[in-house]
Structure formats: structure tokens, C-alpha cells
């Protein structure tokens, strides 16, 4: 089964939706325009039910097959939010909102799931129920968690759930996946180093927080190199080093460090958290300073269920003729993980071709990938819930 002909016919229409969403990016939970557009389209398609306000601004559509004797219910999810980045693509449909752009392709994900929903509502060539899920606030807001906490899985009796993300560098329309951990957990930390400010010419009368914080940054690198099994993966990155002064001759009273911890294993995640706390505290104490650590757990590891992964890969192979079934895991985070903690399912990567990587001001979703993505969503349903 190659690309469905219907999606080739709909490509212009779906592309127009995608570019309209791209031109009007919205951040986190403030996806009011996008959510309204999605709800309007789902109603226009003739979905049996359209519900807004799930997980604050999420949208859920229900499409029943010609029959529902199987009792099967599949969830398909796309994210809607953009990033706080100033767009530099120069496209005629570039962002009209200063400081915000669809730099991760969520505009494409939303458009592809809308295209699949239109097709499924037209054909209904399956025995069961499809729940299409349009989620806000993937980029740091935890919209997936909010939708789950709002009763997403139980309210619609979702039994398995699937999602997709574009992947620059992978040929357009090709697919890649792996069973088990695909994407990393994503935690954040703030470390405030408190010492004793003073004159730079008299460091003996101060407790130099810049020096202390520098030792903490270096020591944190020992987590990956000396605390974690070399066959497992962890990333500890300090991304902010901020003193309270810009002076050339003042030793600051405090220094703020901010960073992220990524892991592909829950035990490694626990270990890293403990080591961040211990290293910061003990290093500061050794210099006579104090470290106040605020460690915030973010997105869990995105873990694909083996059976669902094999099924999703078989569908991708049918659509594209080829699929990478054991792609290397990525240390990026994804809050589809909250949905996979509640139900079995799988997260698929879709090739976006050459070009800028995600989270880059020159990134743009490749519209040529739309037919493959739509076909994968639709074929998941038709294969899993074959009509009697």
C-alpha cells in the first residue's frame, strides 16, 4: 500500500492549512487561534464529536467507523504550539508574530493529522473508533500531561496511542523508529551559589562565588564520565552562568547556574538527580559557600511499546517501502511520553529532508512529507481496525 491517492489530491489543501498555522504561531497553552481552527475543521469534516478545552486548550475529535463491533479505540496525537524564536526563513508565509515561529514542525504535525481526520471521516473504512488529539504546550509546558490529567485516556476509552515527529536529515517521506527508549527524559535545575561578595583586589576577604560556581560546572561533568555506566547515556549541560554584577572589580555575592539533565533510563535519571544535588552542595561547602538547588523533573523518557512499535513500523514500511526499525535514540525530550505512560503505543519519526534542524530560526517543515505522514496515520487505523 503506497501513499494513499486521496492525500495526493488533498496536498494543496493540507499545505494551505499548514502554512496558515505557520504564519500565526502561538506559544505554550495560548494556542487559541490554532485550537479554534482545528475544531472548526473537525466539525466541517463531520466528526462525531469535537471537544475543546481539554488540557486547557487541547482539542479532541472522535470518528466512528462504519461499524464499532470491535470495541477498539485508537488515539492519534499531534502538537500545535510554536517556539519563542524570531523567524529568519524569509518565506512569504513566515511568522506574522514577532518572536514566535513554528521552528519544530508542529504546524506540519497538526496539518497532517487534520488531513488524516478528513480522510477517515470521509471513508470510515474501519471497525472501531478513532480519537484525534491536538495538544498544546509540548515545548516546555507539559500539555500532554495536562490532557492526560484532564481525563483524556479514560474519558474516550483510548486503548493505544500513536504520535509522530518530523526528522531533518532523514530523506523526505521515510520513517524511523525503535522499540523501547526513543527520546530522553528532560529535567531542569537551578543552582544558586551563595558566598560573600567583596572587592576583586581583596579576594581573601570574600568567598568567591564565581570560582565556586566554576568548580561546580566542571564537577557536574563527572556524572556522565564517572558515575553512569559507560554503556548508558546521560547529558548534564549547564547553559546559564549568571552573576549579579557586570563589574570588572566586584566579587559577586551570588551566582545562578541553570541547566538540563537528559537520560534514556529511569534509574540513570534518578542517579543524575542525586549527583547534581550532592555535587553542588558538597563543592560549595568545600569553599565555604552554600548551594541552593532547585531540581525540577520534566518530561519522562519516551518509551515505545515493542508490539506497537513493530505494528507502526510495518505500516510505515507499507507506506514508504522502507523503514529504519532501530534508529539511534535521541537525547531530545517529548511530552508524548506522558501519554505512553498511560497507554501502550509508539512514536514515529518522519523524514523532513535536508535543511535546518529543528529549533533553528531558518527551519521549515517540508510540505512534501505531508502525504506520507497522513497515509501513516490513516493506515494505522485501517489496519488495526479492519472492517468486518
Annotated binding site: 104, 106, 139, 165, 359
Length of the chain, in residues: 388
C-alpha to C-alpha distances, 336 to 46, 101, 134, nearest whole angstrom = 27, 21, 11
Between 106-123 and 32-45, two packed helices, what is the crossing angle to 10 degrees?
20
Place of cell 514500511: 317
Q: Render 209-239 in DSSP notation, one character per residue.
A: HHHHHHHHHHHHTHIIIIIS-TTS-EEEEEE
Helices (H) and strands (E) in the chain, counts: 11, 16
Beta strand pairing call for 129-135 and 73-79: parallel
At 144, list the grid cell: 500532554
Question: How many other C-beta atoms are found inside a 10 Å radius of the C-beta of residue 140?
Answer: 17
- 65 three-class SS: coil
CA–CA distance, 174 with 169 (Å, rounded to integer): 10
Beta strand pairing call for 175-176 and 345-353: antiparallel
Cβ(140)–Cβ(28) below 8 Å = yes
Annotated binding site for Mn(2+): 104, 106, 139, 165, 359
**Could you tell me how far CA 271 lies from the centroid of its own chain?**
23
Q: Pick from 128, 164, 135: which is nearest to 55 by CA?
A: 135
Burial of 226 (0-12, 13-18, 19+ CB in 10 A): exposed
Q: Pick from 311, 333, 367: which is nearest to 162 by CA?
A: 311
Phi, psi angles (nearest 5°) of residue 117: -65, -40
Strand partners, 310: none
Amino acid at each position: 500500500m503506497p501513499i494513499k491517492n486521496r492525500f495526493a489530491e488533498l496536498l494543496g489543501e493540507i499545505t494551505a492549512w499548514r502554512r496558515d498555522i505557520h504564519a500565526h504561531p502561538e506559544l505554550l497553552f495560548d494556542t487559541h487561534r490554532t485550537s479554534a481552527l482545528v475544531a472548526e475543521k473537525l466539525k466541517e469534516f463531520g466528526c462525531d464529536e469535537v471537544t475543546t478545552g481539554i488540557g486547557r486548550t487541547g482539542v479532541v475529535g472522535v470518528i466512528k467507523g462504519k461499524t464499532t463491533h470491535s470495541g477498539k479505540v485508537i488515539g492519534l496525537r499531534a502538537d500545535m504550539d510554536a517556539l519563542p524564536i524570531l523567524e529568519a526563513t524569509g518565506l512569504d508565509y513566515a511568522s506574522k508574530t514577532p518572536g514566535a515561529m513554528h521552528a519544530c514542525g508542529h504546524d506540519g504535525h497538526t496539518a497532517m493529522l487534520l488531513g488524516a481526520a478528513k480522510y477517515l471521516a470521509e471513508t470510515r473504512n474501519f471497525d472501531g473508533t478513532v480519537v484525534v488529539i491536538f495538544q498544546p504546550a509540548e515545548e516546555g509546558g507539559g500539555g500532554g500531561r495536562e490532557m492526560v490529567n484532564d481525563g483524556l485516556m479514560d474519558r474516550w476509552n483510548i486503548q493505544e496511542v500513536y504520535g509522530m515527529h518530523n526528522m531533518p536529515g532523514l530523506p523526505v517521506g521515510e520513517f524511523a523508529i525503535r522499540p523501547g527508549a526513543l527520546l530522553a527524559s528532560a529535567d531542569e535545575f537551578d543552582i544558586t551559589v551563595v558566598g560573600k561578595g567583596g572587592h576583586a583586589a581583596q579576594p581573601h576577604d570574600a568567598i568567591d562565588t564565581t570560582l565556586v560556581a566554576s568548580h561546580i560546572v566542571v564537577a557536574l561533568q563527572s556524572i556522565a564520565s564517572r558515575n553512569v555506566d559507560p554503556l548508558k547515556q546521560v547529558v548534564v549541560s549547564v547553559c546559564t552562568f549568571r552573576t549579579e554584577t557586570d563589574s570588572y572589580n566586584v566579587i559577586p555575592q551570588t551566582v545562578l547556574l541553570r541547566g538540563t539533565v537528559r537520560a534514556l533510563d529511569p534509574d540513570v535519571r534518578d542517579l543524575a538527580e542525586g549527583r547534581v544535588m550532592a555535587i553542588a552542595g558538597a563543592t560549595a561547602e568545600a569553599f565555604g559557600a552554600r548551594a541552593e538547588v532547585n531540581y525540577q523533573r520534566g518530561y519522562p523518557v519516551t518509551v515505545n511499546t515493542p508490539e506497537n512499535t513493530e505494528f507502526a513500523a510495518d505500516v510505515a514500511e507499507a507506506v514508504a517501502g522502507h523503514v529504519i526499525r532501530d534508529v539511534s535514540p535521541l537525547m531530545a525530550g517529548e511530552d508524548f511520553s506522558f501519554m505512553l505512560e498511560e497507554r501502550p503505543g509508539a512514536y514515529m519519526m518522519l523524514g523532513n529532508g535536508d535543511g535546518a534542524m529543528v529549533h533553528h530560526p531558518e527551519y521549515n517543515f517540508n510540505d512534501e512529507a505531508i502525504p506520507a505522514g497522513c497515509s501513516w496515520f490513516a493506515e494505522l487505523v485501517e489496519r488495526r481496525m479492519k472492517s468486518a
